[in-house]
Structure 1
Amino acid sequence: MLTFNGFTLKKDEDQTDVWTRKIREYGYSHSDEMDTEIIRGLVRGYFNSAALKAQADAQQDQLTHQEAPNEFSEAWELYHQTLAVDDEVILDMMFRGARDGIQTITPGNMNSAIVFLRRYGRSQQASELVRQYVSARAPASGFFGDSLLFFDGERDQELVAAYEKFRTSQVDLRDPVQVLSKIVEHQGYNPEDVALVAKLDADNLEKMFLNYRGPRLKNIVEWVARFSREDSAQGRVLQHNLRSACERIAELSPMRATRLRLWTENDQAAGSVAAGEKEKHRPAGRREQIRRRRIHRNAPQLGFLRRQLRRGGRPKR
């Protein structure tokens, strides 16, 4: 569903696939940014409310401007629906439409237009759109980078690099604790929030966990652990730093080790934070082995009791 695009299916692809047919029967042509965010929420088990709202606002802006003449959409229609129009006409309309729609065209659609222009020899115009789009949209739109960097189709590398350059040049002066507290409260975040938390080294994570006092401590640790599971470079860095911070705190006392183990037990990044409790808390595998041995040892008695109960008798004490 994330990558399905009914417009780009090739003739030599297997059209008998049951899921492809089913999707097409429903009239589902392709996944836009809003669809992609919803599907990702279903996959990970929770929704990013901030990202969903940003996508909804963007679609509302698009709907607001739909009544005006739209050369961008007309160019795509000409490309897909007729062979009678010359390439130069379509390319001119695509560039003008994309330039005029800087404020309303979604990142995925703009990326497609830029890739399209480069493919047919309009690299200079494509680069001009990159500069205008990043300048206009990146500062005010938190969803811009998330939508583009997780776009599943062909990505224009100049557009990706331009946004990344803008993002890394920004200095985020927000307090990580306040950011995490808002994430806990609203159950939503944006890429800038994740980037801020991912920049915390092991010393800062340790200091943050030890100095924080309040009912949200457990949730804050859990959200940091969740971000560390992100399959990205910043996620792997955070994973390493989180493991180091948790191991240091766990060494202070068994109670601290227990709580961190419980709060990060679904996260491999925290590692074995309960190292000080290995003797008190056997690994789950060891407990399971002991349980099975007990069942095996008591099997004859259990079998006798079951037979007695099936016969309606009362087992002797």
Structure 2
Amino acid sequence: MSIELLRNQISKFLGSETPEVLAIRGEWGVGKTFSWNKFLEDAKNEGRIALKRYAYVSLFGCNSLDNLKFKIFEQVIDTSTIGVKSNIETFRKSIESLTVGRKILKFIPSLPSFRNANISLLLDSIAFLSLNKIIICIDDIERKGDNFKIRDLLGFISLLKEQKNCKIIIILNSEPLNNNEDNDLKIYREKVIDIELLFDPTPEECTEIAITSDNYCSLQIKELSKKLEIKNIRIIKKILRLSDQLESLLKKYEPELIYQALHSMTLLALCYFQRGNDKIPDYDYIKNIGYKIHGLNGKEENIQEKQWNSFLRKYSFYKIDEFDLEIAKSIENGFFNEVSLLAEADKLNAKIIADKSENSFSEAWKKYHNTFANNQEEVVSSLYDSFKKNVYYISPLNLNGTVKLFRCLNENEKADELIEFYINNIKTNKSIFDLKNSPFANHIDDPKIIERFNCESKSSEDDRSPEEVISSLADKNGWSQNDIEILSALTVDDFYQIFISQNGDHLSGWVDACLQFAQISNASDEEKMISNKTIEALVKIGKQSSLNARRVAQFGIRIEGDI
């Protein structure tokens, strides 16, 4: 059912005083509750609600009928205040506005046994007596307590309709209930539910519900979400929150970079938040796609991979780069590491500017991708010349893809020449040869490239002292794998000696830099080791004197026996 048809049915339901039960059923995340609240508020604003009182109740953690009765009683509001969140003041007014509630509240204090009364049972009784002619929305049925059976719930809903003249809305997920209660739901729903509406909005309708802003990023997310046919409003909202952060971070960069960020983020977020959905590519498959989609990985695709690659081509997603991987990290962590993101953005932005030139490397690759003509000589010549002109903007992954194509075309001499040309021109950036710490190490598989990169990497081993590494961590708010390897190899005594030998304003920053890994939810074992050894070293320092015990306390270190 479309959103407009659903709106009309709900409008008729709200405009009548007739006691009845309406169910809104749909997949998780499509916006059932969101749409109900919107249509309800619209009806209130237009004066189209027949009954005077309303209550919204989530069954999350609800374990009994008595619990539900009081939840409804607690949430009852006048329909004129729909859209205002419940609080202690609205609760008090709700009690005072109830005829039965007002009388009993005046009468209770005069009871001789008032102090010994079971107030909970008393309030439950008041709650049930008060539930007359109310619109009640019951949500999150699948999250109710295990002891609260679906048949008991539906029986109570029937009672509310038949004896209390209430109108009840039930919001149901299409997914099966826990504890095999689907059979009970099927049996009783036919007896209890008068109207059942299937909420199955189109991707276009879901984006209209979720995205109301008309700024550039929001409009792009709307179009990209439609293209991916995203129907989960929660996921669209998460993408929007991330895009808001991206917009402020990337506003100084080329429009193509901003579009790539939004394009990649929308796909990666969908695949990350809907892992296990066979209809969309696996999240880890995308992160490690390399040149698979170009047919240059030397392996035959299985049926699943063919479907995934077709999905990605339809979305115009052909490769993933270091910038995309930074965005992937932000999706996993829930925030952006500005230092590492902007470092990759700077590199990509320079490449985009270079790609805009007539002789760009991307243009050269189009002679391979965009035709079935017999143009091998033109492809080789164009890629060879463009590679040399744009060498500073070519990643190791692009180098590997170009070399593999040349070898497939029996151009081994040119392939080897490009490898040497690349190394000789990129020598100043030694970190690029460190395949061990490259996110694309598994996809750089040309033996010659691996051999030459390893040779260059060994010639530039990291010889920094631990103090230099810690200082770097404190100053740049980021780290490399080399930093982690150097610090994780230190002993507790090493950290102790480093901290005890330092004096000055930088000391607290150094300690915080070493402790920060304890706050990271997905920290590696090596990163956890750094923080754990740091804590042990601080404990050792704190035990030296009461003064030092108080000094380390500022870092959350509690020394036993210290006051």
Q: Same fold (TM over 0.5)?
A: yes
Q: Of the candidates 268, 274, 288, which is equivalent to residue 3 of structure 1?
A: 288
CA-to-aligned-CA distance 1:256-279 (integer Å, 9 cap, x gap): 899999979xxxxxxxx99x96x9
Q: CA deviation at 1:12?
A: 3.3
| CA RMSD, 1 decimal | 4.7
Unpaired stretches in structure 1, ≥5 consecutive residues: 265-272, 281-317
Q: Give 1:230 deviation, angstroms.
A: 6.6
Alpha-carbon distance in 1 for matches of 2:322, 2:335: 17
- Residue 351 of structure 2 corresponds to 62
Equivalent position amino acid for 2:304 in 1: E
Given that 2:492 and 2:534 are in contact with CA atoms closer than 8 Å, whether structure 1 keeps it comes out as: yes
Quick one: structure 1 residues 212 and 99, their matched pair in 2 at CA, closer, same or farther if it must change by over 3 Å?
same
TM-score by length of 2: 0.37
8 Å Cα contact 2:323/2:345 also seen in 1: yes
* Structure 2: distance between partners of 1:125 and 1:70: 19
How far residue 93 of structure 1 moved from its aligned partner, in angstroms, is 2.6
1:133 corresponding residue in structure 2: 422
* 2:397 aligned with 1:108: yes
Segments of structure 2 that go 5 or more residues without pairing to the other structure are 1-267, 269-286, 296-300
Answer with 27-36 or 187-196: which moved more: 187-196
Name 2:304's counterpart in structure 1.
Answer: 13
Where does residue 443 of structure 2 map in the other structure? 154
Aligned residues: 263
Matched-pair contact (CA < 8 Å) for 1:180–1:220: yes
Aligned amino acid, residue 221 of structure 1: C
Q: What is aligned with 1:168?
A: 458
Counterpart of 2:498? 208
Is the 1:143–1:191 Cα contact (8 Å) retained in structure 2? no
- Whether the 8 Å CA contact 1:79–1:90 is kept in 2: the answer is yes
Structure with larger Rg = 2
Query: Are 1:202 and 1:242, in contact at CA under 8 Å, matched by a contact in 2?
Result: no
Q: Please tell me whether the aligned partners of residues 496 and 538 of structure 2 are also in contact (alpha carbons under 8 angstroms).
A: yes
Identity of aligned residues (%): 20
Matches within 5 A, 1:44-123: 44-45=333-334, 47-70=336-359, 72-123=361-412
Instruction: Give the 3 Å change call, closer, same or farther, for CA 172–152 of structure 1 in structure 2.
Output: closer
Compute the displacement of 1:150 (Å).
0.6
2:413 alignment partner, one of 111, 115, 124: 124
Structure with higher strand content: 2
Alignment of 1:191-202 (within 5 A): 193-194=483-484, 197=487, 200=490
Q: How many Å separate the matches in 1 of 2:463 and 2:539?
A: 30
Partner of 1:303: none
State how 1:258-269 maps to structure 2 within 5 Å: none
**2:326 aligned residue:** 37
How far apart are residue 98 of structure 1 and its match? Answer: 1.8
Q: Measure, in 2, the Cα distance between the counterparts of 1:244 and 1:24.
A: 48
Q: Please say which of residues 122-131 and 100-109 is displaced more in the overlay.
A: 122-131
Q: 1:211 to 1:119 in 2, by over 3 A?
A: farther
In 1, distance between residues paired with 2:316 and 2:395? 22
Deviation of 1:102 after TM superposition, in Å, equals: 1.0
